Amino acid sequence: MTTQTLTLEDAETLIADALIAAGTRDDTALSVARALVAAEAEGQVGHGFSRLSDYAAQVRSGKVDGQALPSLTNAGDAALVIDAGNGFAYPALDLAIPALAEAAQKIGCATAAIHNSHHCGALSVPMARVADQGLVGMMMANTPSAMAPWGAKQPFFGTNPIAFAAPRPGGDPLVIDLSLSRVARGKVMHAKKTGQTIPDGWALDADGQPTTNPDAALAGSMLPIGEAKGAALALIVEIFASAMTGANSSPEVGSFFSADGPPSGAGQFLMAFRPADPVGFAHRIDRLLTAIDAMEGTRLPGARRAASLARASSHGIDVPVEYVTEARAIVGARA
């Protein structure tokens, strides 16, 4: 696969320009661009440039309102409610996180419930921002049906990702980001778009048979992590991301890939906690993580993320040429 190296700044500019050309507000386009490039920099390619052409098509069709402005209300001192307005999730997250952090610092814990939302990309990106405020955070999101309840064949749950982040003194925060399918569905879409097969164990076809064909996988269902336990965790995430937020449930969430149909109406639920004893917490978490890191043959979750971010900061990101070409074509279409 041929790639082109872009600086982080150039990548953000290219994505933002493409989204603006498709009909997105300037500030929203920049918010989305920052999130997609941050995902690419972390090595989460399924949430980066691969999403741009689909995002632009959905803005043009009206499935995503590129002019939407999210709004925030308080359902209580520590309970925030954000309406994404059927626009992109990223401006809603940009609105939610500072307010969430302020409430958690003041009260000790706080939640933010986002509805009328869309694909929210790599959950590690907003969670790292929470940890940078000295807070422990968790985030859950639902996605269109892609994974069957254990024992069934028909997709019901989304890949329903969950993320956790905690500050670590003198170093990068601990960030754990995982989908409850064995891999994020965006990786399957990335394989489809770049003409690759997928490994065994990622997905089943529509008949419930294992497949390495990304088209068959997208027409079938993703496999959960931990078998029945992963499916149970997907249900927990579903309750937080839809029942708690008022968003659509996964079977109701519109596709993040197709420009057809009504707005997706997905939900995201965030929590932030202030350590009651920040100094003691810092000491205990550092001791815990240092002990794990010292064990032979292991590595801390998020270690590859940190290494990828460091490389991207100095080297830039390597983007498949077809994605760069697509982005420039979208920009040029407005000219």
Answer yes or no: do 163 and 188 share one domain. no
**Domain-ending residue, one of 223, 255, 283:** 223
In the chain, the number of structural domains is: 2
Q: Is the pLDDT of residue 335 over 70?
A: no
Answer yes or no: do 19 and 153 share one domain. yes
**CATH assignment at residue 165:** 3.30.1370.60
pLDDT by residue (tens digit) across 147-189? 989 888 889 999 999 999 999 988 889 999 998 988 877 788 8
pLDDT by residue (tens digit) across 230-250? 999 999 999 999 999 999 999
Answer yes or no: do 247 and 112 share one domain. yes
More confident call, 209 vs 119? 119
**pLDDT at residue 76 in the model:** 82
Q: Are 145 and 264 in contact (CB under 8 A)?
A: no
**pLDDT at residue 152 in the model:** 84
Distance in angstroms (rounded) separating the CA atoms of residues 183 and 330? 29
Answer yes or no: do 98 and 214 share one domain. no
pTM above 0.85, yes or no: yes
Q: Is the pLDDT of residue 46 over 90?
A: no
Answer yes or no: do 231 and 219 share one domain. no
CB neighbour burial string for 253-291, b if at least 16 within 10 angstroms, e if fewer? bbbbbebeeebbbbbbbbbbebbeeeeebbeebeeebee
Answer yes or no: do 196 and 238 share one domain. no
Average pLDDT of the residues of the chain: 94
pLDDT by residue (tens digit) across 68-86? 999 999 888 899 999 999 9
Place of tokens 């150039």: 10
Answer yes or no: do 209 and 238 share one domain. no
Answer yes or no: do 316 and 267 share one domain. yes
Answer yes or no: do 17 and 112 share one domain. yes
Find the domain containing 159 and state its range: 3-181+224-334
- Smallest CA-to-CA distance from 43 within 201, 148, 239, 190 is with 190
**Domain-ending residue, one of 223, 242, 273:** 223
**CATH assignment at residue 191:** 3.30.60.50
What is the mean pLDDT of the segment spanning 46-55?
Answer: 94
